[in-house]
Amino acid sequence: MTLGDVRHAALRRVLLVDGQVNDLEHQWLVQRLESVEPYTGPMQLNDLWDAFLTAEGIADGALPERKALYFAQQTGVDGARPDVELLFWEQL
């Protein structure tokens, strides 16, 4: 399975709905952001990731590096981003 397939399956599993992977990722991020307070910021996927990672305390660097750091923190594995991201979605 590809990273996209694994991410899609994980999002369908945790959200208990079906849909396009980007729509599900959007929904998951909004839910995570709104678990703290209502989110009123920009709604593009990269904007949501930026807001989410900032809320998680990962505010420095470019978005890909920040995502890699988040995935590494969540999985406890330090490695290449695609591998660590795949593990994150498999464990979600």
pTM (two decimals): 0.93
Angle 82-62-13 (CA atoms, 0-180°, nearest 5)?
45
With a pLDDT cut of 90, the percent of the chain lying above it is 92
Burial status of residue 9 (CB atoms within 10 A of its CB: 0-12, 13-18, 19 or more)? middle
Q: Which two tokens stand for residue 83?
A: 């591998």
- Domains of the chain, residue spans: 3-91
Q: Which two tokens stand for residue 62?
A: 């470019």
Residues near 45 by Cβ (< 8 Å), separated by ≥ 6?
Answer: 22, 25, 26, 29
3-state secondary structure of 18: coil
pLDDT digits (tens, 9 = 90+) for 18-35: 999 999 999 999 999 999
Query: For residue 1, what pLDDT is reported?
Result: 86
Q: Residue 79 gets which letter from DSSP?
A: S
pLDDT digits (tens, 9 = 90+) for 24-69: 999 999 999 999 899 999 999 999 999 999 999 999 899 999 999 9
